[in-house]
Amino acid sequence: MELHNIPFFRIMIILILLIVVGSITKLTDNVWSHGPLTGKGYMERGKKGPNDGKMIELEGNYMEFVVDYKSGEIALIMLDKKMNPIPLPEDITGLGYLRMTGSPVKWFDFKRGYHNQVPYLAAETGIENIGPFNAVVSLNIGEERKNFYFNWAPTAQEHDE
């Protein structure tokens, strides 16, 4: 190998690395947008809400994803920046699906419910003592649709009840 070709090989390696890094970003979006509910999605953050649910940012506030272990009900509760429940805008509707290990996909539709006169969205999964699952929630906010991805598992306390 001649020394005058070394810069050419370095440039080629740098270009290949840039292409690979750029492809990984697109691949990540494609992996999350798989399945029946497609589009760019948002992963839940590690922050827990006041009802021990998973949190996502939505419309300048927060949405808490809460699961009732015993009944299998899933609730979406809108919270302000101080973590107080606030009314859910009328133009937000949603549906989703969950997948438990070794089980087929389970679809659910969110319906409007009220807790202490504050509206929220709730969905019945029909699975009592629900186990760990991954979920995709698709919210229609006016004319826009946003997908959110959640991982959920019951706590040790829920198993003991």
Same domain membership, residue 139 and residue 82: yes
Range of the domain at 22: 3-32
Same domain membership, residue 90 and residue 15: no
Same domain membership, residue 135 and residue 59: yes
Same domain membership, residue 66 and residue 28: no
By DSSP bridging, strand 74-79 and strand 92-99 are: unpaired
Find residue 150's DSSP bridge partners: 135
Q: Which residues have C-beta within 8 Å of that of residue 18, sequence separation ≥ 6?
A: none
Same domain membership, residue 118 and residue 50: yes
Backbone angles phi, psi at 10, to 5 degrees: -65, -45
Helix, strand counts (H, E) of the chain: 2, 11
Give the count of domains, the chain.
Answer: 2
Could you give the CA distance from residue 95 to residue 138 in angstroms, rounded to a whole number? 6
What CATH number is given to the structural domain containing 48? 2.60.40.2480
Same domain membership, residue 26 and residue 49: no
Same domain membership, residue 156 and residue 106: yes
Same domain membership, residue 28 and residue 71: no
Same domain membership, residue 78 and residue 27: no
Q: Which two tokens stand for residue 85?
A: 């429940």
Task: Give the residue among 8, 123, 114 at the shortest CA–CA distance from 73.
Answer: 123
Task: Give the residue among 89, 78, 94 at the shortest CA–CA distance from 140.
Answer: 94
Could you give the CA distance from residue 100 to residue 72 in angstroms, rounded to a whole number? 12
Q: What is the mean pLDDT of each run of 10 residues along the chain (161 residues)?
A: 62 72 48 42 64 86 91 92 89 92 92 83 93 92 88 71 54
Task: Give the residue among 28, 144, 23 at the shortest CA–CA distance from 91.
Answer: 144
pTM above 0.85, yes or no: no
Same domain membership, residue 60 and residue 92: yes
Same domain membership, residue 28 and residue 48: no
pLDDT at 88 (0 to 100): 87
What's the pLDDT tens digit per position in 114-156? 877 788 999 999 999 999 999 999 999 888 888 988 888 887 6
Same domain membership, residue 14 and residue 72: no
- The sign one gets for the Cα dihedral 143, 36, 30, 92 is positive
